[in-house]
């Protein structure tokens, strides 16, 4: 497995978070972007490594940022379902 795909809603989650950090600090937004990329690289390398949220989803908590990458393992890719903030209601992404 060598790629990740984002659902449109997950892309929106990411863009909103990135924009929030960018409005405050160029350095913070770059750090957030790097943390997401690092997490995706780790997920692609070992998708079963992170905890399950439910029967279909797993999550990887970002370091230094209060976000998790919520994903599903597909046949030939990782499907990112949400870039979920820790204070948001858990499972808001389940219908995606």
In a domain, residue 27? The reply is yes
pLDDT of residue 48: 95
pLDDT of residue 1: 66
Using alpha carbons, list the distances in angstroms from residue 3 to 17, 27, 42, 82: 22, 27, 11, 16
Q: Residue 53 maps to which CATH number? A: 3.30.2310.20
In a domain, residue 39? The reply is yes
Residue of 54, 58, 77, 78 whose CA lies nearest to 68? 58
In a domain, residue 68? The reply is yes
pLDDT of residue 89: 85
- pLDDT truncated to tens, each residue of the chain (96 aa)? 678 899 999 999 999 999 999 999 999 999 999 999 999 999 999 999 999 999 999 999 999 999 999 999 999 999 999 999 999 888 888 888
In a domain, residue 78? The reply is yes
Task: Report how far residue 31's alpha carbon sits from residue 18's, in angstroms, rounded to the nearest whole number.
Answer: 10
Task: Report how far residue 7's alpha carbon sits from residue 45's, in angstroms, rounded to the nearest whole number.
Answer: 20
In a domain, residue 10? The reply is yes
Number of separate domains in the chain: 1
Q: What domain range is 17 assigned to?
A: 4-85
User: pTM of the entire structure?
Assistant: 0.92
């Amino acid at each position: 497995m060598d790629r990740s795909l984002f659902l449109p809603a997950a892309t929106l989650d990411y863009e909103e978070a990135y924009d929030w950090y960018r409005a405050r600090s160029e350095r913070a937004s770059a750090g957030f972007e790097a943390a997401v990329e690092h997490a995706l690289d780790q997920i692609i390398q070992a998708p079963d490594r992170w905890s399950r949220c439910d029967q279909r989803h797993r999550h990887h908590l970002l370091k230094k940022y209060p976000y998790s990458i919520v994903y599903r393992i597909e046949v030939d890719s990782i499907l990112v379902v949400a870039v979920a903030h820790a204070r948001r209601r858990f499972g808001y992404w389940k219908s995606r």
